Structure 1
Amino acid sequence: MIKPLLLLLALLSLPLAGPTRAATVNFVTEEYPPFSYHEGDTLKGTSVEQVQLLMQKADIDMRIELLPWTRAYAAAQATPMTCLFTTAHSPERDKLFKWVEPLLVDDNILVATASSGIRETDLDDTRRYVIGTHRGDYTEKLLKEKDFPRIDVASDFPSTLRKLMNGRIDLMPISEIYFEKLKLDQPLVRVATLSFQSLGIACEKSFPEDIRTRMQQALDALITEGTQRAIFAKYGLHARH
């Protein structure tokens, strides 16, 4: 009986383990300035900075990788501990992910080049034009749902913008916040409002709820403290809230 007693005493004398640090969260996003993009070897953007700050505030390890949108979207659906940003929270996507939001609240508008002669009009009137978007973006499905008959799908946002500037498409959807900045450098005009959008972080369905909650609380704090608005201002953007 002595040996079991000694073993029990030895176990009781071991220090209690403290709380374990959360596993690393893997973030995936696309090249979509000014929200996420590379400048040399540095990853920048309004959404990138928000994600980095909120994860630091929540004390959770993280990695960010830039991928083509379709690959990033697929990874966030199938890979545990993976989150995608900046993602429009549409009804279709609501139950596919766990959400941390908003990184951005905005209207999505259709824009044209100033030289095209296309001017602001009703959304119904834009159905006669070729509308460009990129594969897997929520606007691709939205345009189909709104019965736009002529949709041109590119591989990513920069490719769509190049097509617009080169006259290969007539219109493209874009964040109104970004448009207000982009029109200072590019001859673009607003044509119509396509939709209202709330965009955030979409995490794989099995993502731990306690970690998601810490992330949401950290983002809420960034918004309340005015940090989110300051990040937008740093990039020449004006937040809606």
Structure 2
Amino acid sequence: MRPFLITLILAMPLFVCAAFAGGIDTLYYARVEPHVDDTGGYMKGPTVEVIYRIMKEAGNPLSPKALRFMPWGQALALAKTEKGKGIMTLIRTPEREKHFKWVGPIGHVSLGAWARISRHIEIASIQDLYEYRIAVVRHSALDYDFLQEWDSTPERVERVNSPKTQLNMLKEGRVDLVILNAQNVRKLFLLQGLDPDAYEQVWTFVNSDFYLALNRDTDDALVDALQAALDRLKTRRPGQSKSTFQWIYDSYQ
């Protein structure tokens, strides 16, 4: 279990502060390790801790029951249209800007394609990816945002349930490339008994900050309170070697 904060929050009831006419009762997430991870039956990860903290400080505390896994396309649709809903880790793009209210940045993600070094795969443009078999986690942000166009050639894309399955397929030669978060990739390889130095990143899909994205009907006062709480968390206080925000993220390295 990570810092005792998670244990304390598990005892909290699901609660939306009545002070806000437009509060948050549900946050949808996709598994973006190490930021958001629900393996083992409980929520963990630096983004989870940060969100618990700022929601509580802003007067809208949430319990783990308020965090719900949802396929990315469905999560986007629900958070856009249903009051009280939001998404924990959404990249802020011009197309999405008008559909949500934003708090952040709350983390950073770098998604790339990885291959065996011995394969000598060179990717000069995204079109080159069409030549290879790729494994991506089903319903992940990358699956939804970056590979929808591949639906015309589904035999080239293997949608699987976990990074473990991705790496097993890569190890066995059933795919040429896997899409992973570069921030966590070395740990993932080691957990599967693979030598990280035998693999290389051959393409970067996105290297971007992500935000807490909230339904447009969310009370502006709550959005402002959340942003202020996050900004305080990122501020290094006198006597601190780093901010509490940085300490939380570093504790998961």
Which moved further from structure 2: 98-107 or 135-144? 135-144
Query: Where does residue 152 of structure 1 map in the other structure?
Result: 157
Q: 1:234 to 1:47 in 2, by over 3 A?
A: same
Q: CA–CA distance in 2 between the matches of 1:89 and 1:163?
A: 32
Tell me, yes or no, if the aligned pair for 2:32 and 2:181 is still in contact at 8 Å: no
Superposed CA RMSD in Å reads 3.2
In the other structure, the counterpart of 2:181 is 175
Residues in 2 aligned to 1:155 and 1:202: alpha-carbon distance in whole angstroms: 26
| Residues 198, 161 of structure 1: alpha-carbon distance in 2 compared, 3 angstrom cutoff | farther
With the length of structure 2 as denominator, give the TM-score of the two structures. 0.70
Letter in 2 for 1:117: R
Shift of 1:34: 2.0
Output the amino acid matched with 2:182: E
Aligned position for 2:135: 132
Aligned residue number for residue 30 of structure 1:
30
Structure 1, unmatched stretches of 5+, are 1-18, 237-241
Secondary structure (helix, strand or coil) at the match of 1:37 reads coil
Partner of 1:223: 234
* Greater share of residues in strand: 1
Identity %: 24
44-53 vs 56-65, which deviates more? 56-65
Aligned to 1:14: none
| CA distance in structure 2 between the aligned counterparts of 1:27 and 1:107, rounded to whole angstroms | 22
Greater C-alpha radius of gyration: 1
Matched, 1:52 2:52: yes
Q: What secondary structure does 1:80 align onto?
A: coil
Does the 8 Å contact 1:37/1:43 carry over to 2?
yes
Letter in structure 2 aligned against 1:69: P
Q: Is the 8 A contact 1:30 1:36 kept in 2?
A: yes
**Taking structure 1 as reference, are residues 217 and 57 closer, same or farther at Cα in structure 2, changes over 3 Å only?**
same
**Partner of 1:142 in structure 2?**
146
Match of 2:119 among 93, 106, 117: 117
1:145 CA drift (Å)? 6.5
SS at match of 2:49: helix
Aligned residues: 217
CA change 1:68–1:60 in 2 (3 A) is closer
User: Is 1:233 the equivalent of 2:235?
Assistant: no
Q: 1:196 aligns with which of 203, 207, 213?
A: 207
Per the alignment, in what secondary structure is the counterpart of residue 235 of structure 1? coil
1:111 Cα deviation after fit: 1.3
Residue 40 to residue 130, structure 1, CA distance change in 2 (3 Å): closer
Letter in 1 for 2:203: A
Change (3 A) 1:47 1:162: farther
Equivalent residues of 2:30, 2:139 under 8 A apart: no
Please tell me whether the aligned partners of residues 139 and 173 of structure 1 are also in contact (alpha carbons under 8 angstroms). no
Alpha-carbon distance change, 47 to 110 in structure 1, aligned in 2, over 3 angstroms: same
* Structure 1 position 91 matched with structure 2 position 102: no
